[in-house]
Amino acid sequence: MPMKNVRIVLVETSHGGNIGAVARAMKNMCLEDLALVNPRQFMTEECVARASGADDILHEAQVYRSLDEAVADCSLVVGASARLRSVAWPQLDPRACAGLVAQRAAGGRVALVFGRERTGLTNAELERCQYLVNIPSNPDYSSLNLGMAVQVLSYELMMQRQGRSPSRDSGAGDGVTAADMQGLFEHLEQALEDIGFLDPRKSAKLMRRLKRLFYRADPDMDEIKILRGILSAAQGRKSARRN
Ligand code: SAH
């Protein structure tokens, strides 16, 4: 598994010290691609101190204005969540997560997304993720420090890398990115509205279920094109092919 294909994404981190701790954990586990979405602080003294020599990771970190931009070129996006949400979203434990990431990183870029120290990831951000990963912990005290959470997940990746020869997954990683999936979802929502199936006031819940379905199906690029062709035809677009 090329570890350079694994991106750690931190969303709106409050404390520079935690970013430093993440950089250190990443370098320990041979990861190097750090993306920061609107960090509240970044290169503070504490950040550099806690990076403890992993300065190269900090210097090369990319700063983005939105999660969408940070994961746009990723073919798999996994969100780390301390709490199991009421919505049943595909869930992984850290080991299964490492297995999936290893498989998919062989053919494309993969993002592991971590939330804010106080409030984690929003529901909208979680919906940007194909899967959620939860680190099993005390149900009454489940929230790990951000750096520790990155450490656990990247350790499992390290174990995965040591335990197995690089795998190549035939179907996955054929270039479908998060942006392609978003394009499909937006088209689907519009088409469902156009044909009168979707009541815009109640669309959120249905769209969540449909996204879950399509993430599970893990379509390749040809399949996405077919689906979008069907949607265009349903919308009555001229560009749609007719028999
Ligand atoms: N209080 C927040 C947790 C913030 S901890 C909440 O309840 O959601 C900061 C981030 O570390 C989380 O957003 C998550 O990405 C990660 N994290 C912390 N504990 C975790 C756990 N048990 N499993 C998976 N990720 C965890």
Q: Which of 150, 171, 208 lies closest to 76, judged by CA?
A: 171
Q: How many domains does the chain have?
A: 2
Least confident of 51-55, 180-184, 221-225, 237-241: 237-241
Paired residues of 79 in beta bridges: 113, 132
Which of 96, 128, 163 lies at the terminal end of a domain, its last residue?
163
Average pLDDT over residues 115-137: 96
Asked if residue 208 and residue 89 are part of one domain, the reply reads no
Interior angle at CA 74, CA 216 and CA 206, nearest 5:
40
What are the tens digits of pLDDT across the range 155-209? 999 999 887 544 444 444 467 888 899 999 999 999 999 999 988 888 888 888 8
Interior angle at CA 26, CA 71 and CA 34, nearest 5:
30
pLDDT at 37: 98
Asked if residue 152 and residue 126 are part of one domain, the reply reads yes
Helix axes 221-234, 178-194, angle to 10 degrees: 20
Which of 163, 189, 216 lies at the terminal end of a domain, its last residue?
163
pLDDT at 171: 46
Residue 96 tokens, joined:
């299964």
Q: What is the CATH number of the domain that holds 202?
A: 1.10.8.590
Ligand 1 site-directed mutation target among 78, 81, 141, most atoms within 8 Å of CB? 81
Asked if residue 195 and residue 118 are part of one domain, the reply reads no
- Residue 237 belongs to domain spanning: 178-242
User: Is this model's pTM higher than 0.85 or not?
Assistant: no
Tell how far the Cα of 8 is from the centroid of ligand 1, in angstroms.
Answer: 14
Asked if residue 117 and residue 52 are part of one domain, the reply reads yes
Question: Is 218 a domain residue?
Answer: yes
CA-nearest residue, atom 21 of ligand 1: 82
What is the number of the ligand 1 atom nearest to the C-alpha of 120?
A: 13
Question: Is 125 a domain residue?
Answer: yes
What are the tens digits of pLDDT across the range 55-98? 999 999 999 999 999 999 999 999 999 987 566 789 999 999 99
Question: Is 52 a domain residue?
Answer: yes
CA-nearest residue, atom 5 of ligand 1: 117
What are the tens digits of pLDDT across the range 20-33? 999 999 999 999 99
Average pLDDT over residues 29-57: 97
Asked if residue 217 and residue 184 are part of one domain, the reply reads yes
Asked if residue 112 and residue 153 are part of one domain, the reply reads yes
Question: Is 73 a domain residue?
Answer: yes
Tell how far the Cα of 149 is from the centroid of ligand 1, in angstroms.
Answer: 7
Distances (CA, A) of 70 to 30, 111, 115, 162, 200: 20, 9, 13, 28, 28
Tell how far the Cα of 12 is from the centroid of ligand 1, in angstroms.
Answer: 13
Asked if residue 184 and residue 81 are part of one domain, the reply reads no
Within 6 Å (CB) of ligand 1, which residues are found? 80-83, 114-115, 117-121, 133-135, 137, 142-144, 146, 149
pLDDT at 166: 45
pLDDT at 239: 58
Tell how far the Cα of 144 is from the centroid of ligand 1, in angstroms.
Answer: 6
CB neighbours of residue 205 within 10 Å: 9
Please answer whether residues 78 and 140 qualify as being in contact, where contact means their C-beta atoms are separated by less than 8 angstroms: no
Question: Is 172 a domain residue?
Answer: no
Radius of gyration of the chain (CA): 19
Asked if residue 72 and residue 20 are part of one domain, the reply reads yes
CA-nearest residue, atom 8 of ligand 1: 120
Q: What is the DSSP letter of 167?
A: P
Asked if residue 21 and residue 136 are part of one domain, the reply reads yes
Question: Is 119 a domain residue?
Answer: yes
Asked if residue 203 and residue 145 are part of one domain, the reply reads no
